[in-house]
Structure formats: C-alpha cells, structure tokens
A and B are shown apart, each in its own frame.
Chain A
Amino acid sequence: METTTKTPGVPTLSIQNLTVSYQAKRGAVQAVRNITLDIQRGEALALIGESGSGKTTMGLSLVRLLPSNASISQGRLIYRRVDAGKPVREIDVLALKTDELRQYRWKECAMVFQAALNAFNPVLKISEQFADTSKAHGYIQGKALEERAFHLLKLVRLEPSRVWNGYAHELSGGMRQRVLIALSLLLEPQLIILDEPTTALDILTQRNIMNVLKDLRTQLDFSLIFISHDLSLAAELADRVATMYAGEIVELSDVYTTFKNPLHPYTIGLIHAVPTLAAHRDNVTSIPGSPPDLINMPTGCKFHPRCPLADERCKRDDPTLETVETVNGAEHKVACWHWKSARAKLTSER
C-alpha cells in the first residue's frame, strides 16, 4: 500500500477542551474534563488509567456514540482528512448532521470495541456484515468487496474462506476480535480507536492480536488510539502515552519517557503496580485508595487523597497540564505541583 507523505503539523484529530458529563440521579458525573490533545498522523497514542478514569467515555465521544444520558458539554473535535494531492479537509465532528455523522463513523474513524465478543449480529453471516458496512458508505460490493475483505482477513492472520461464510458464534473470541479489526480497516479510515482490544482474551490470543496490530501498523497508514489499562501492552504498541485520572490527562509523553522517566505520582504508581519478572514480589505495590467520586470531586489536585506527596497546595489548587521538557522533539507534559521531586521521592521510599 502506498504511504502518503506525512504532513507535519497537521494532526489527524484535534481534541480541544473536551468535557463530557453523564446525567445521574445524584448529579452530573464529569467523566471527561477539559481534555486537549492532538493525534498526529500515523502515530499510536495509548490512553491508560484505571477503570472509571474516563478512557472509554473519551473514545466514545470521538465517534459521538455516547449513551443517551451523556452529553458533550464543551469542546471541539476537529478531524482532518488528508488525501494525496488534495487539500486537507477539515471536519468539525461535533457539528456533523445525522447523515454526515453516519458517513464519518467507520469511514474516517473506526472504533473497535471492548466487547468484541458480541460485536457481530448473531443472525447474519460475517460476509453480510462486511457487505452492510460497505453498502452504508457506498463502497465496493460483490466480488471486489470479497477480494478486499479476504485481503484484510489475511492481514489479521485468518483463513478468509473459513470465516467469510460463517456466523460469529462459530468463531473463537480471538478470531472474532481479529475479524472486527479487519472490518475496521475495510474503508481505510485514518483513525482507529481500539478500546481494550485484548481484554477477556487468554494470554496467547492476546499475544497474537498484539502481533497482528504491530504488523498492521507497519503495513498500513493510520493513526491509532489504544485504550488500555495494561501498561505493558501500551508500551509495546504506542508512540506516545497519555495517562488519565478522573477524566483528565495528568501526564503525556513519548512512550520511552513514560516508562523511563515518569513524573506524575499516579503514573509512577501505575508502573510500580505492574509485576515484572526481574523485580521481587514485594516491590509490586498498588496505589492506595480508589478513584474519586466523579460527582463530588475533591478540591485541588484530584489525585491528592491518594498521593503520598500531597500537601496544602495540592488540596487547594488544581495543577494544569504543562510542558516540562522536550525530549527528541516530543513534549513531556505533566499536571503535578511536585513533578520535579516526585520520581526521586517515590522511588527511594521503596
């Protein structure tokens, strides 16, 4: 496949001040708060954090598939379509009308869901569901579609003839996940969101999917948002890592820096919570406490009730995400009052 020349400075997706809240009985749940983030062309960005940190909500809001009790209360989403030899086309995602939105979904931005096990209609053949998707976007049909689908199914290391005329229930979990990934590539979207694509799969299948994804990244040209709570998977696939806590990005840097030189106490805690073969069992520590109540948020830094470094200032003032250094052209951003000393203090304590 022909690789389009990367246009520097033209991010595929710009998220600006995105805020999403759910309407609950007790009040508004602020699941995503004031996130600003650019997804560059061809890059893979990992979104990590605990359950309930707003990762999935953010993913869903990018394709405007939020549940009916949720709404995007502020912000802008600017998607940029780059076709070789044509001027960049900007799409204001939040302003799309119903039919335009339908066209945007999957054609521009495909989302591979967490629950891929049930992602397929049980009463339609896989081939029919490819055809449905293709038809909905006025894409190829018939023999041409079959050829393209077979090519994609081979890319995700499936035997196309076995899958094509089957139903979802005849496939294993890992196979279904791979079929969904193949389907997500069908319309050549520029952006693919993978929401925990390997959760609920056994370790070997997980390995297999990760290899498929890494393969695809080298062969095809698309940007990727990889949502995961598994740091090791993020490390493997991503170029940049954004750590989310209580609906905010608290640290953003290239993948190497995130693991080598994390600055936010929460990121440091997450990394320490991962057991490694080399480290002694006692060195694995979890982060005390639990994620905050998103309706009655703590004052100041949202992480302060769980942070060993918290002081009066942290309880009072909320730190903003600021660039603290630039490593190899990539900005390292962190939202913490103690970023200078956090790593040294937290590592020596152990």
Chain B
Amino acid sequence: MLQKIASNYVVKTIVRRLFTVLIVVTLTFFIIRALPGNPIDVFVYRLMDGGMSEEEARQRATVLFRIDLNAPLGVQYVEYMGNLLKGDLGDSYVVAQGEPVMKLVMANMPWTLFSVGTALILSFIIGMFLGMLAAYRRNTWIDHLITNLGAAIDSIPNTLTAIILILLVGVIWKLVPVAQMRGAFSPGMKPGFTLEFIWDVLKHWAWPGSIYVLTAVGGWMLAMRSSTLSALGDDYVTVARARGLPDMRILTAYVGRNASLPLVTSLAISLGFVVGGSVLIEGIFQYRGVGILLGKAIGSRDYPVMQGILLVTTITVIISTALADVLYGWLDPRVRVSGNQED
C-alpha cells in the first residue's frame, strides 16, 4: 500500500515535469520563430552590408542554406517534435553550418560547467562563510564592512562591476594583461590533459572567475547573514549553550545547518541555470561556452541551436529543482514527504 503511494508520487512528479518540458519546448519553438527576421534575411543583410547587392546575396543564401522556411509552422513543429523524440536536436543553420546541435552543445557545455559552475560554488562557499562571520560579529566593524560591501555589490549589475574592474585593474593600473586573458586558453595551446594546458586554463579562468565570484558573493553573504541571525535567535541555540555544547558544535550542527537550509534551494536553482552560461564570463571575457554559442545563435537567428540550448537549460533547471527538493528533504526532516522511500 505504502509502496503504491510512493511510486505514485514519483510517477506523478515525473509526468508533471515532462509536461513542463513539453510546454517550454512548444512555447520557445513559436516565440523564436516570431522574432523579427529569419536566418536567411539576417545572412542576406550581412552580405549586403559587405557591399553585395540584394539579388546576389539572396542567391548565395539559397545555395548555402538548404532549409525551407516557407513550410507551414505547424508542419515544421510536428517535424521538429518527431526528431526530438528520436533524440535529434536538428542541425545548425548558420553558426556551424550543418553541424548537429547536440554535438555543438556538448562541445561547449564542459567549458560552461567548469567556468560558471566552479565560480558559482566558490561564491556560495565564500558567501556562506562571510555571512556567518558577519552574523556572529553582529554590529562590529567586520559586520558593517561585510554588510555594506555586500549590499553595494549586490545592487550594482555584475556586468557593470566587471567593466569597471577591467578598466581599473587592466587598463588604468595595468595589473592584469586583460587582452591576453580573453578566451578559455591561450591561442596555439593544444587541448588535452597536460599539466601545461590545465595551468593555462586555470590562468585564463582566474580573472573572469574571480570577478564572477566577487559579484555573486554579495547576495549569498547577505542571505546567509540574515538566516544565521535568525537561527542564532532560535531557542534551540540558547538551549544548546545551556547544555554546555562546545561552540564549534553549535556553530556547525545547530546554527550553520539550520541557517543554510533556505540557501540550499537557491543554490540548486542557480546551478540549474549554469548551463545557460553567464553573460559576465562568456560575454565580457569571451570565455568559450554555451552562453557565447547562444548569443551567436540569437544574432543569426539559428533556430535549431537556440531551441536546443533552451531545451537543455530547461531540462537542467527542472532536474536541479527536483534535486533541491530531495536535498531539502534530506537536510530538513520536517519537509520529508510522508510515505517517502527513505529508511
């Protein structure tokens, strides 16, 4: 009986999530195609900018692209969904002509996961630590410093902070060779698991990565500070002190564990969005990844690539929120679903 309910719950959840994916795919399919301009137009305008006549440009475009944009949308949709069911995301129109979208995404994904994922987790850890420190040192200069800095960083758009820092550190003070630090690794470097290559990658990551950490840490810090303060005011912390527990045990298992609960959900959701890339790292620093690919795809109206990346993002966000649910239930016994498969 219990088994039945549990499996029912799981089945229901999965079905609901699949339904979400279906809706997102459908909506993005039509919204993308409703954008002004199509891949051929964009290509033609680009050629015309280069001094070609429209006639000539159109002819070249038809030769290059063997795609039929005139088929009714409904037909295109059914065809796309059919391919999707077979696991085929289609081929790129413009960005990398003829390349399967799946292959493109897979080639860029590791870079994004590495650059944005590492930076996100780092900023989360540092933010938790500083937030707890501020809460424990409430109303001291450390707290004031952390809180004000955190609020300032958090309220300025991170791209703006990045540009200001590049200007100051890279251009005016010339402390970092910004131009050489563009991209994921130095030109001419041969990718592979060599020490030299890994070192080069880390070096290239350090600059955009640390700026990302710096800009993201503010939010985590403030959130952790306020939830630590609220945990510190909870009765069980006072009782733990009365019980004579060591401060370290109270800090970790009593204050820390309870204070981090609300942040875990935010982290899981943020992790889901990592695969969408980061404008900061990939846009400003030209770091290789899904974000750049998406930017290019939008610029040239490469429908299958746009659609493919959005689909992957949707799925990871859905998976990570599901993961957050499970994780939260594991961390907080109060929200465990009754009839859960645990124990």
A interface residues, Cβ below 8 angstroms from B = 63, 65, 102-107, 110-111, 113, 115, 117-124, 132-133, 136-137, 167, 169, 180, 183
Are A102 and B244 closer than 8 Å at their CB atoms? Answer: yes
Residues of A within 8 A of B240 (CB): 121, 132
Q: Besides A118-B234, A136-B249, 16 other CB < 8 A contacts?
A: A65-B238, A105-B244, A111-B242, A113-B235, A113-B242, A115-B235, A119-B236, A121-B240, A121-B253, A121-B254, A123-B258, A123-B331, A132-B245, A132-B253, A136-B246, A183-B243
Residues of A within 8 A of B245 (CB): 102, 132-133, 136
Question: Bound state CA distance, A111 and B243, in angstroms?
Answer: 8
Question: Bound state CA distance, A120 and B234, in angstroms?
Answer: 10
Are B238 and A122 closer than 8 Å at their CB atoms? Answer: no
Name the residue on B nearest A101 (C-beta): B244
A110, A118, A122: which contacts B334 (Cβ < 8 A)? A122
Which of B258, B261, B333 has the largest number of chain A CB atoms within 10 A? B333
CB of A117 to closest CB in B, whole Å:
8
Residues of A within 8 A of B238 (CB): 65, 113
Residues of B within 8 A of A123 (CB): 257-258, 261, 331-333
B242, B254, B258: which contacts A110 (Cβ < 8 A)? B242
Residues of A within 8 A of B253 (CB): 121, 124, 132
Residues of A within 8 A of B239 (CB): 113, 119-120, 180
CB of A183 to closest CB in B, whole Å:
8
Question: Bound state CA distance, A167 and B239, in angstroms?
Answer: 16
Name the residue on A nearest B330 (C-beta): A123
Question: Bound state CA distance, A132 and B243, in angstroms?
Answer: 9
Q: How many A-B residue pairs have CB under 8 A?
A: 72
B241 at the interface (CB under 8 A from A): yes
Are B236 and A120 closer than 8 Å at their CB atoms? Answer: yes
User: Contact flags (1/0) for B237-267 with A, using CB distance below 8 Å?
Assistant: 0111111111001000110011001000000
Are A105 and B235 closer than 8 Å at their CB atoms? Answer: no
Which of A105, A107, A120, A121 has the largest number of chain B CB atoms within 10 A? A121
Name the residue on A nearest B333 (C-beta): A167
CB of B298 to closest CB in A, whole Å:
44
Residues of B within 8 A of A117 (CB): 235
Are A105 and B257 closer than 8 Å at their CB atoms? Answer: no
Question: Bound state CA distance, A104 and B243, in angstroms?
Answer: 9
Question: Bound state CA distance, A120 and B253, in angstroms?
Answer: 12
A-B contact pairs, 20 of them (CB 8 A): A102-B244, A102-B245, A103-B244, A104-B244, A105-B243, A105-B244, A107-B244, A113-B235, A113-B239, A117-B235, A119-B239, A121-B258, A122-B236, A123-B258, A123-B331, A132-B245, A132-B253, A167-B334, A169-B333, A169-B334
Question: Bound state CA distance, A115 and B238, in angstroms?
Answer: 10
